[in-house]
Structure 1
Amino acid sequence: MTYHKLHIVVLIPAICLITNIYSQDFKAGKFGKGLFNLKAKDSSWTMKIGMRFQSLATNSWNASNGISNSESSMLIRRSRLKFDGYALTPKLKYKVELGLSDRDLSAASAFTSNSPGYIFDAVVKWNFSKNFVLWFGQTKLPGNRERVISSGDMQMVDRSLLNSRFTIDRDIGFQLRHHFYISEIFLVKEIFSLAQGEGRNITTGNLGGYQYTGRIELFPFGDFAKKGDYKGSDLSFEKHQKLSFAFGYDFNNNAVKNRSNQGSYMTNDVGFFQTNIGTVFIDAMYKYKGFSFMGEYAQRTADDPFAKNSDGTLTGDVVQVGNGLNLQTGYLLTKKIEISARYTNISLDKSITNKGAENQYTLGLSKYISGHKLKIQTDVSYTDIGFKTNQLLWRVQLDIHF
């Protein structure tokens, strides 16, 4: 029995045991609010157990000279178990998210002790003083907005090319979060993060320096309903205009990967090539009466983008420096049906990466059966790629959350 299968065999019976123990003490909650909601008799802890998965079908074609070379696939894109609640006091919250699909578990390498990447989130959140909350553990860093939006709350089938090229995703470390009001409705949120800087589930230690991330968010018209600033689509049908404008900067000191804490390790004759990598994020979210707009800009720079050996010769690895722009909008024709559109431009530095610009145009259609908890989404994308064959992509996905 493989390491992967052994963990699943152990995990599933453990969950069944928990539910059997408490089966006479509680009833399952409303659809989309968790499979089970547990609470200690003395209210000293709570746990919500949830599950979700996405079934995806795709078809792609070469599109440089007509439509040719059709390729199709079907897969479980994501499959997750989620646990959250509080321990001892509601001021001490926690979240655990585990991945089970093959795509979720594709992070095995020598740097993760050749183990599948089961753990996505394992974080504790301590509200230690008024508007201050301290996070510790592994979770998403406060980078680009689109990445922080859950994969289950997206407006389209999947995230944009900007996210795949510039995201800083998850890492382990500390985050300090705070918010305050400038006026009666003008809200400001601040986040500072200190992380290891090599991505999630790393067990080999810190090969480079640390990663520092700061982000500030401005809400001139007040906060969004139901955390809508980090959800795709205006399913809350905001009665008043809501806007969040944010600026962030990430600095990875002596980074050893070619996309900050993401991408491939830059190895050389003495171990790893190290360089300082900085990433700027500017984004906005606007919602009003079923209309939504999200815009993002990202720019990555590096002190020395060319990985070198100890004698100065090039290894062939380069930091993926450049910038990206993503503009996305949607409108709910009814409370259940939404049309959406997206334009993404990726411009990596051609003199460094030897890659030209990419432009992607996407049209989407979503049917929300029960909000983001049960939905069917489809989209079609045309990607104009300057350095290889243009592509046409069609996708359809079923998303269900318990």
Structure 2
Amino acid sequence: MMVHAYFSRRVRFLLAAVVAFSLPGISLAGSVSEMDLLRQQIAALEASNRELGELRTEVAQLRSTQEDQWVNSRRKEELKSMISEVLVDADMRSSLMGSHMTAGHNGKNFFLASEDGSFLLKMKGQIQFRYIGSFQDAGSGASAIDDETKTGFVIRRAKLDFSGNVVDPRLGYAIQVAIDRGTNTASSDKIAISYGLSEGFTLWGGEDKAPFLREELTSSSRQQAVERSFVNEVFTMDKVQGVGLKIKKDDWMTHVMINDGYKSGDGGTRQNRFTQTGVSQVNADTGADLSRGSVSGDFNDDQTDFAITARADFRFAGNWKQMKDFAAWDGEGKAIFVGTAIHYEVGETGDDAFNNNFLSWTMDGSVEQGGTNLYAAIVGQHTDLEAAGASGQPSADDVDLLGVVVQAGFMMVPDKFEPFVRYEHVDFDNWFGGAFDEVDIVTVGFNYYMKKHAAKFTLDLLYAFDPLPFRDEGLGLQQDDADSDEQMVLRAQYQMLF
């Protein structure tokens, strides 16, 4: 419309000029000749042509400008639409990294949450794929080992962990599901609910690790060797059912728990070989073993009247985060921790079994500095034998077990390559007879960290200098004959956390 009006005005002006100069009979001046008039008309026509050329140029420029404006307007609408789509997508993919972000991965675990934080679900997992080679020196007794060499692969651990809070950040929950390495069936490994009474005070109930051994309380994903020590497996209370109170301060923390006793959170696998099998759980009249295959996690099927576990930890240097594993990472300062714990258990009364009372205790400490780590622990267990002197039972009134473990590691390549060594000793106080009275074990190996514990490869060699009175498949150890000399286990493992 603007182009047409502009063009019309200019054309009318030029045409009027041409007509004016070309009308016959108009006298410009008496002295002007017809030749001069003709020259003037030619000049006027040339001027008109120049004006028409300028007009065409301006019209072309105007059209180009209007087309650009139209294109820019269309592009602007497209950009608006694109930006709107990106904003919608960003809102859908939001995470807790911002105040309005409610889903994603925070570098440690996946999560879902409400914007106000009142509802939270954290999800993480663990996979440990392991090779084990077990080599024994067979004895010559009646139960002589038939196969001295056992090798193979195993999914040692496959776990999914869910935790968070409901309605209020103070009201927490935790559920862990584990895949059985033998049957590939899934079962609960931890079930707990908690309430934050105030800052540093937490009350909880359910089934989880008893607050006893530091090795056991340290996640299997954060161990230094491929597996926890043999000492830990002998003395651990593992998972128990009960209620507990946790108190955490700047330089100390404590955890007290009333529970159903040794491995009461492990169902039918929880018999204590030193207090709940053999001499400790037998029929008073017949001597028959009552413990095997008769226990569960239910309230009326345990073998304990009462149990209490308590642990205290003290921080002399470093931060509590450094206590979650045994590695001395690059950039971490010096750390010193000391801990102690007890577990007292009263055996089941009112049935026809000899159920023994026992007291377990431990002390441990660790130091980390400059890439070097050192950990040591001593643990003991005193058992009162209710069946002492009975037919077929030991004459001793009690038995005292003792275990010691010391391990050290050094980051030869910071956060990448870490050799380690571990020594452990167990004194069974002649529980199994002279042949199995004491056991010494040394483990050497290394860790190669690709992303700290989230992706690491571990290789170690375990050497038992003495025959073992029982097996532990988790460690790769087999039961020996009494006259066996030694046992060696080669273990290689790749771990992934997600």
Establish whether TM, by shorter chain, passes 0.5.
yes
* 1:94 is the counterpart of 2:188: no
- 1:230 deviates by 2.6
Which residue is 1:356 aligned to?
A: 437
Aligned residue in 1 for 2:308: 212
Which residue does 2:325 correspond to in 1?
231
Higher Rg: 2
- Give yes or no for contact 1:125–1:135 (8 Å, CA) kept in 2: yes
Deviations 1:261-298 (A, max 9, x none): xxxxxxx9x65321111001111121112211111111
Deviation at residue 204 of structure 1 after TM alignment: 5.1
Matched, 1:203 2:298: yes
Residue 251 in 1 paired to residue 344 in 2? yes
| C-alpha distance 191-390 of structure 1, shift in aligned 2 (>3 A) | same
1:173 aligns with 2:173: no
* Cα distance in 2 for residues equivalent to 1:274 and 1:169: 20
Correspondence 1:114-153 to 2 at 5 A: 118-153=187-222
* Equivalent residues of 1:361, 1:383 under 8 A apart: yes
Question: Which of the residues 418, 423, 432 maps onto 1:343?
Answer: 423
Q: 1:147 to 1:103 in 2, by over 3 A?
A: farther
Q: Tell me if structure 2 keeps the 8 A contact 1:273–1:307.
A: no
Give the Cα separation in 1 of the matches to 2:189 and 2:183: 9
What is the percent sequence identity of the aligned residues?
Answer: 20
- Structure 1 CA distance for aligned equivalents of residues 486 and 138 of structure 2: 5
Deviation at 1:139, TM superposition (A): 0.6
Q: Is the 8 A contact 1:323 1:347 kept in 2?
A: yes
Q: Partners of 1:301 and 1:23 in 2: how far apart?
A: 59
Q: Tell me which protein shows more helix as a share of its residues.
A: 2
Unaligned runs of 5+ in 2: 1-90, 96-102, 140-146, 268-296, 468-481
Following superposition of structure 1 onto structure 2, how do residues 69-84 of structure 1 map, counting pairs within 5 Å? 69-84=148-163
Q: Pick which of 205-214 and 44-53 moved more.
A: 205-214
Question: Which residues in structure 2 correspond to 1:262-341 (within 5 Å)?
Answer: 271-304=352-385, 306=387, 312-314=390-392, 321-334=400-413, 335-341=415-421
Asked if the contact 1:80–1:100 (Cα under 8 Å) also holds between the matched residues in 2, the reply is yes
User: 1:215 & 1:306 partners in 2: Cα distance?
Assistant: 30
Cα distance 1:364–1:384, how it changes in 2: closer, same or farther (>3 A)? same
Question: Could you report, residue by residue, the CA deviation over 1:33-89 in whole angstroms, capped at 9, with x for unpaired residues?
Answer: 22x310024432100111211111011212589xx9332011100111100112222
Question: Relative to 1, partners in 2 of residues 1:72 and 1:306: Cα closer, same or farther, differing over 3 Å?
Answer: farther
Q: Mind listing any 5+ residue stretches in structure 1 that lack a counterpart?
A: 1-21, 106-115, 182-186, 257-267
Conserved in 1, the CA contact under 8 Å of 2:402 and 2:426?
yes
Greater RCO between the two (CA within 8 Å, min separation 6)? 1
Matched, 1:51 2:120: no
Structure 1 counterpart of 2:366, one-letter code: M
Structure 1 segment 27-42 matched on structure 2, within 5 A: 28-29=104-105, 33-34=108-109, 36-42=110-116
For residues 117 and 173 of structure 1, do their structure 2 counterparts lie closer, same or farther at Cα, with a shift above 3 Å needed?
farther
Matched letter for residue 93 of structure 1? G
| 1:190–1:215 contact (8 Å) kept in structure 2 | yes
Aligned length, in residue pairs? 343
The letter of the residue matching 2:486 is: N
- Of 242-251 and 96-105, deviating more is 96-105
Structure number with the higher strand fraction is 1
RMSD, matched Cα: 2.8
Is residue 366–residue 374 contact of structure 2 (8 Å, CA) maintained in 1?
Answer: yes
Contact (CA 8 Å) 2:382, 2:400: kept in 1 or not?
yes
- Quote the offset at 1:216 in angstroms: 1.4
Is the Cα contact below 8 Å between 2:93 and 2:104 reproduced in 1? no
**Pair 384,25 (structure 1): closer, same or farther in 2 beyond 3 Å:** same
